[in-house]
Amino acid sequence: MLNGEKILITGLTGQVAGPVARALARDNEVWGIARFSDPNARAALEKAGVRCEMADLAEGDLGHLPGDFSLALHFAVAKSGNFHADLAANAEGTGFLMDHCRNARAFLHCSSTAVYEPNDHELLSEDAMLGDNHRAFGFLPTYSICKIAAEGMARFCARHFDLPTVIARLNVPYGNGGGWPGLHLELMRRDKPIQVHTNAPSIYNPIHEDDLIAMLPRLLEVASVPATILNWGGSDVVSIEEWCGYLGELTGLTPRFEPTTHTIESTAVDTTRMHELIGKTQVPWRKGFKRMVEALHPDLLEGGTVHE
C-alpha cells in the first residue's frame, strides 16, 4: 500500500472514491474534495481520517487547497444529463484539477469502459473504437461523450504540464456498498425485471473494491508522459445473466430478465495490458459477490443453496 504520501482524491461521496480514501487515510495524509451535499457522508469520511473540503471543479474552485500533493486520484464525475454543465465539470474540471496538481508525482484519471463503441462480444482493447454506448437508450445521455472529452483533457494536460498520468478505464466496480450487481440484487428482492441486451449474454469485467485499492500503487507507478491508457476491470469475464444466477443461488431469489435493445450492450474488455502492467485481480467474482450479499443483506443467505 501507499505510505506517507499527501494525496488529493476527488469524488469522495462516490461508490469508488469513498472506500479508496478511507483505506489510504490509514497511512497517508488524504484530502478529499466533493460538493458534500450529505453532511453524514462527510462526517463518516472525516472520522476515517480524510480531510474533506468543498470544491466545484466546473468553476476551478481549488485555490483554497494546498499545492504540494504528491499524488492525485480523480474519480469525480458529473452526470446531470445537461451537456453544458457536464462538459464543464468533467472535461474542464479535469483541466483545472491537473493544473492545480501539476507538481504531483503521478495523476490517476479514472475513466470508464463506457468510452467504447460496443462490438458484439469482442473483448475491447485500449485501441478499440470509441463511441457513445449510453445515449441511444436515454440512460445517462452525457456520460460516454463526457468521459471521452475528459480523457482528451487529461492527455493534453499530461503533456502540457509534464505530469505523469495514467488513464484507467473502469469496468463495473462493486463491493460491500453494492454497485451494479448490488442494484440487480435489489431488483431481485423486489421481483423486478433486470434488463439485459437481446444480443445475449451481456458480458462485463466486474472488479471488487479490494482489488481497486490493492492495484493503486502499481497503477500510479505506470503513470507517464504521454499518458498511459489501460483497461481496469476484473480478470474474469462474467455476464449479467451468470452473476444474477449466482446471486439467486446464494439467496434463493429468482432473477427475472427482460431482454431489450434499450440497454447497454456487452462491454467486456481485454485485460492483457492491465495484466502486463499492474497484474491480475485477486478477488474471484463469486467470492466478491458473496461478500457483497453478506454486507448488504446477510439474512438472504439463509435461503440460498450455496453454503461455503
**For the domain 6-175+207-235+269-282, what is the CATH code?**
3.40.50.720
CB 237 within 8 A of CB 205: yes
Element (H, E) at 126: none
pLDDT tens for residues 260-273?
Answer: 998 999 999 999 99
Can you give the pLDDT at residue 207?
98
Residue 164: what pLDDT? 98
β-strand 71-74 against 106-112: which pairing, if any?
parallel
pLDDT at 167: 98
Give phi and psi for 157, each to the nearest 5. Answer: -65, -35
The list of the chain residues with pLDDT below 70 reads 136-138, 307-308
- The confidence score (pLDDT) of residue 293 equals 97
**Predicted local distance difference test score (pLDDT) of residue 92:** 98
Quote the cell numbers at residue 266. Answer: 456487452
What pLDDT, on the 0 to 100 scale, is given for residue 307? 55
Structure confidence at residue 308 (pLDDT):
54
- The alpha-helical segments, DSSP class H, found in the chain are 17-24, 39-47, 83-87, 93-100, 143-160, 180-189, 209-221, 240-251, 272-278, 285-296
